[in-house]
Chains A and B, each alone.
Chain A
Amino acid sequence: MASPYREEHEQFRKTVRTFAQKELAPFVDEWEKSECFPNEVFKRAGELGLFSAHYKEEQGGIGGDYWFSVAKGEELPHCRSAGVSMGLLVQGDMATPVIGDLGTKEQIEEFLKPALKGEKIAALGVTEPNAGSDVAGIQTWARKDGDDYIINGAKTYITNGTRSDFVTLLVKTSPEQGAHGCSFFLVPSSTKGFIVAKKLKKVGNWASDTAELAFDEMRVPKRYLLGEENMGFMYLMQNFQTERLIAATSCCAGLQLAIDEAIAFGRDRKAFGKPIIKREYWQHKFVELLTKLEAGRALSYKAAEAYNDDKHVNNGQVSMETVKLISMAKVFVGELSSEIIDQCMQFHGGAGYMEEYPIARAFRDQRLLRIGGGTTETMRYYLAKLMGL
């Protein structure tokens, strides 16, 4: 595959890296402790174009292709906090692509444009206390009341949820119709009946805030319905491929950093008379890990190329073939990340278990990749269906 990157991708890459290294990395220890990075980070990232690169110009975007987003995802790990990366990726690549695809002019003005500028913080509300993998089983219900909808229910594990300005919210509009009864709404968090019920404590990704939300007789006007009623499940499958794709591509870059750092550590650290990296045992281990990482990156890039062709070259829908590749990449890289980070930690010995080494944070953060955005098992379940097994 020829490099998909042109001069302006490379310049953007440099911008994101400099931003991550100079304006994020020096502060992430503090943000990990306070379990939330400041709102201003969204604003600054928006100013630099981190959210808007791959959106159309009339939507407040730059009109670039998806490789801008991939480049961004690859550079963000330089901030050394997966929580910060995730919060920023939710803003531009998870909660908002569906607005770009389906939003009315008014919805784009009210939600998408300010989100891409980083002026409004976006969250994606799909998962519920009683339904995660099985999305069709959600219970939050929007019942019609004249021209409005009244929403009751709850969402959980919502990234950016404690301070979002609006939520891209999946609800049931026709509860009896299962998957065919779901709809998307854009809901400002200032709406009466919108409740941030709890800030959740997590294993990792500390700098990212995660919330449980509750909706109590929340009245939402029809103009906030995104796309058509009862089409939500279809939209979810179509428009949320970016979430998995950016997770996979960004993760590969983070893993490369972890391996590079581990190897540098192993050149200095001596045991039994020589640097531990000079042990054949570890040399072969790293060769194997780097080989797998190369394979993971190649698969992710193939998926990204397919996605970019579907969406940015042919300006159409995401094909089933692309969905397949993206799902495979998400599973492969997710599982691989546990293996790589685990081995990198092992290579550090006791030092790896200490907070002063970045591998410690990476160890707790990486675990999310096999769960968030669709668990490995659920992805395989859908892949088996898709492949007609």
Chain B
Amino acid sequence: MKILVPLKRVADPDNANKVKVNAGKLVTTGLEWKPNPFDEYAVETALRLTENGTATKTRQGEVVVVTFGPKDSETTLRAMLGTGADRAIRVDTGDDQIDGDVVARALKALVEKEKPDLVLCGKQAVDGDSGQVGQQLAEYLGWPQATFAGSIESEGDKALLVGREVDGGTIKLRVELPAVVSVDLRIVAPKSVKSVHTPATHAYPEGVRFAALMAIMAAKKKPLAEVKLADLTSDAAPKIQYLDYELPPARKAGVKVKDVTELVTRLKTEAKVV
């Protein structure tokens, strides 16, 4: 199976340097980047689908990772090549002159060129939280889609049985390949992904894998291609325009109340929530 995984770098929320706003513009200097966690789960899922979990050195298929960003976003791609992806593509853009729709249209062109059996993406990026690319891409391609996958079972690499958690249970959808699937956190639980190559009893370690130093060094030699955005879509103008940025107001300090009576009074008169 050939799988394409689009991924995005996001500002590391654990870093002391936070996004700043200056005159209505985002300031990203000094930020540390990391792969969007849900995209990392998608890469992990792609690796699990294309390997025998008991012998992960050989890949039974191909995993191609793609990102949209400036030159230094290649760090994110190489990190994924280190954990096992075969090939990487960087679509040359800035970090902020694109929106989900541009990405989806460019990906459509890329998918038509690469012809993967499956596009796996994270359910959303943790910076903008838009959660649109997967769904839009499926629509543009006219492919079946399953979203927020918590489990995936490959049926002979012809179709996937995709589980998604809903209130009170799990729904399972069968999608025929090629398809677009977006993944949620639970997909990286030890037994969430069942590939045709791995014994059913196999349990992965919880979470995403990390790269041995040998693989990190070998990743530097794996193919990493650069593509111009204009070569993928003639219309690269974002549909969403950001007019202004503003930081959320800092949280005000709380107040201490004497007793429940005062609490209820204040909730009524000041907070006006009861």
Contact = CB atoms under 8 A, between A and B. Distances in A.
15 contacts: A7-B78, A8-B220, A11-B216, A12-B213, A12-B216, A14-B210, A15-B211, A15-B212, A19-B210, A22-B207, A47-B212, A49-B212, A62-B213, A62-B214, A64-B213
B213 A15 contact: yes
Given A22-B205, A62-B217, A11 B212 contact: no
B216 A18 contact: no
A14 B78 CA distance: 14
Interface residues of A, number: 18
Interface of B: 75, 78-79, 82, 205, 207, 210-214, 216-217, 220
Contacts of B220: 8
A49 B219 CA distance: 14
Nearest to A47: B212
Given A18-B210, A47-B212, 8 more contacts: A8-B216, A8-B220, A11-B82, A12-B213, A48-B213, A49-B212, A62-B217, A64-B217
Interface of A: 7-8, 11-12, 14-15, 18-19, 22, 47-50, 52-53, 62, 64, 68
B94 to A, nearest CB: 21
Nearest to B34: A14
A161 B241 CA distance: 66
A207 B64 CA distance: 42
Contacts of A52: 213
A7 B75 contact: yes
Nearest to B211: A15
Contacts, number: 38
A15 B82 CA distance: 11
Nearest to B220: A8
A127 B138 CA distance: 68
- Which of B75, B82, B210, B214 has the most C-beta atoms of chain A within 10 angstroms of its own C-beta? B210
A40 B75 CA distance: 32
- Which of A22, A49, A53 has the most C-beta atoms of chain B within 10 angstroms of its own C-beta? A49
Q: Which A-B residue pairs are the 6 nearest by beta carbons?
A: A49-B213, A18-B210, A48-B212, A11-B216, A15-B210, A49-B212
B208 to A, nearest CB: 9
A50 B79 CA distance: 18
A15 B209 CA distance: 9
Contacts of B214: 49, 62
A148 to B, nearest CB: 38
- Which of B78, B210, B216 has the most C-beta atoms of chain A within 10 angstroms of its own C-beta? B216
B221 to A, nearest CB: 12
A67 B78 CA distance: 20
Contacts of A19: 210
Contacts of B216: 8, 11-12, 15, 49
Contacts of A49: 212-214, 216
Contacts of A11: 78-79, 82, 211, 216
A18 B82 CA distance: 15
A7 B74 CA distance: 10
B261 to A, nearest CB: 26
A47 B220 CA distance: 19
B77 to A, nearest CB: 11
A47 B57 CA distance: 12
A193 B217 CA distance: 43
A19 B213 CA distance: 12
Nearest to A18: B210
